[in-house]
Structure 1
């Protein structure tokens, strides 16, 4: 499951198992980019020591899944305080807190102000400040006609982390089929993505697939060495399939990206006003 979610780069993972449908945390990473050690799993969190391979910069990462039940909130706040690292340490805290620390982080006035104050006090004791979300006010919707919107998902850091990673930018992505919107934290250059060849299982069901493979495989490689001949054939099949897939699926991929962009724009609009009936149906 981790491999399916993370792809071929994020081969390493640790998890805090879910209870029914809640509380699960999955942390995946690329071992060529970061080294992860000293994993600690608590009731509401998963913490570890992260070292960036290229620079040997080290920081503590804590990812949380806050409780939804009111009687567990204070235990969650205390557990967060207990994870505060020693002075001089860099600390990044992320996740679904299931709690706001400002009344403005909800689009309706029915907020528990006492609990907001207790959460804000916990953040102050941890010396954490929020990383500003660039393009959204809220990250969660109950998806009703007149929706309740809240900013339940956040990224917090201490001053040491903020000074060391000065070019970070936090963006919300399209909510797509989720009630939460995914958040992407990257530097100002954005994430670096390689473009490896990926074979899609559904290709074999598409018209023209066998013809492309047969044509590429039967082409003369010009090699007498069986190993070089095999390598050439596999490479040629990959090239032809990549070209064929761009032609076959380019339009559908454009449509998917357009749909996600439209959903994101409706997400942003919903932060500011109720959506019309036609917008909700769309």
Structure 2
């Protein structure tokens, strides 16, 4: 799913609407949040002129009656593709538009489009409104838009000092337990477009930890600024494309009682003939292949096994409530509970290792915390685009993969005809010694 949030600075001209429509169609957005529409009324004709989705619906806030050099102010419009997104209800405020979206497995969630006021007095009402939304929208909540305030001084190109609005913004994020994901490909989202430009990060997505559990691959990036002084912001929840992962030893393997004996047997397997370095590498390959098979047989898929055991325990509890359990079934339930505790322990060790938290003490049951950190590391390490020789920028996933292969192939290849090995190194060392 792709959600695009964009302060468009009005929908006055047909040419501007055409440019916006082309950009949204090219990006394949499923939900679009537009701020500062400057429209009193929004109808199907207007929505069709700015979004090409055939099946669509919308909710909006009309712009205010204030006028000035730029005409009417404000206005928020949320549009969604009804073939892909099912909206259960909507709530319209003075500064926000919120929709409740039907999620998978009954995990419904809320999305709020936000447009923060510039007026300092109106900001008090703004903070009160989004604080009220926190109570309404529940644990799975995502909000996006132009907040018209930065979080830190570093989000302003000309520096300055911290303000009360910044303090209110950070207090709200902390009290609502929201996550502020990094903007992957930009530092700022707004510019005054002058000779000595001033830059700010005014636009962003925020979401709760429970919402991120539903969309663990969510990452946001800035799109090209075309018709506004604001960058469109895209939140992409699609699965990350991954190649074959590197082999890593899991810490939970080392705690298994049969690991040492199995490892000894794999290591003592005949590695064939050849020089010692060659035989050593063969032993490592043998251990690696055996470890993969052994891990699947002994540990299996930790998360799948966890759900399976949980369902079995629940089924036995249901039987116990209806008709009671005999001695054999009671023993089976007790065995399943012990197995479930063991799986939780292995899962915790697994995520702690992947999160790379060195100060976490043995026994801390913070699997969710480690899971969030591991997901955060994966998003930060994601390569969305790559600059190659000649200044060319590659964004397609297949092209990025080919460029990386080509670079490392050239890096580790040699034009010399002689193959280097231990014998060559020893020969040169002896020659230098004499």
Give the TM-score band, short-chain normalised.
0.5 to 0.7
- CA displacement, residues 73-103 of structure 1 (integer Å, 9 cap, x when unaligned): 1221111111014696200010110011111
Give 2:94's match in structure 1, choosing from 36, 43, 46. Answer: 43
1:66 correspondence with 2:116: yes
Taking the aligned partners of 2:223 and 2:90, their CA distance within structure 1 comes to: 28
TM-score (norm 1): 0.63
SS in 2 for 1:34: coil
Q: 1:72 Cα shift? A: 1.4
Q: Which residue of 2 aligns with 1:129?
A: 179
Map 1:7-18; keep pairs closer than 5 Å: 7-18=52-63
Q: 1:91-102 counterparts in 2 under 5 A?
A: 91-102=141-152
Q: TM-score, normalised by structure 2?
A: 0.42
1:165 pairs with 2:234? no
- The equivalent of 1:84 in structure 2 is 134
In 2, Cα distance between the equivalents of 1:58 and 1:183?
A: 23
The corresponding residue for 2:200 is: 150
Superposition map of 1:265-280 within 5 A = none
Unmatched 5+ residue regions in structure 1? 191-260, 263-282
Inter-partner Cα distance in structure 2 for 1:87 and 1:25:
19
Specify which structure has the higher proportion of helix.
2
Mean Cα deviation higher: 162-171 or 102-111: 102-111
Residue 125 of structure 1 deviates from its aligned partner by 1.8
Bigger radius of gyration: 2
In structure 1, distance between residues paired with 2:135 and 2:212: 15
Equivalent residues in 2 for 1:26-37, closer than 5 Å: 26-37=77-88
SS at match of 1:3: helix
Using the TM superposition, give the Cα deviation of residue 56 of structure 1 relative to its aligned residue in structure 2, in angstroms: 4.8
Moved over 3 A (4+): 54-57, 85-88
Alpha-carbon distance between aligned partners in 2 of 1:26 and 1:95, rounded to the nearest angstrom: 11
The corresponding residue for 1:75 is 125
Q: CA 1:137–1:157 in structure 2 vs 1: closer, same or farther (change >3 Å)? A: same
Gapped regions of structure 2 (runs ≥ 5): 1-45, 65-70, 241-391, 394-434
Match of 1:23 among 71, 74, 87: 74
How big is the alpha-carbon RMSD for the aligned residues of Structure 1 and Structure 2? 2.2
For residue 145 of structure 1, give the secondary structure of its aligned residue in structure 2.
Answer: coil
The aligned counterpart of 1:181 is: 231
**Aligned residues of 1:175 and 1:181 also touching (Cα < 8 A):** yes
Distance in 1 (alpha carbons) for counterparts of 2:223 and 2:97: 23
SS of aligned partner of 2:128: helix
The count of residues paired between Structure 1 and Structure 2 equals 191
Look up the SS of the partner of 2:102 in the other structure: strand
Counterpart in 1 of 2:189? 139
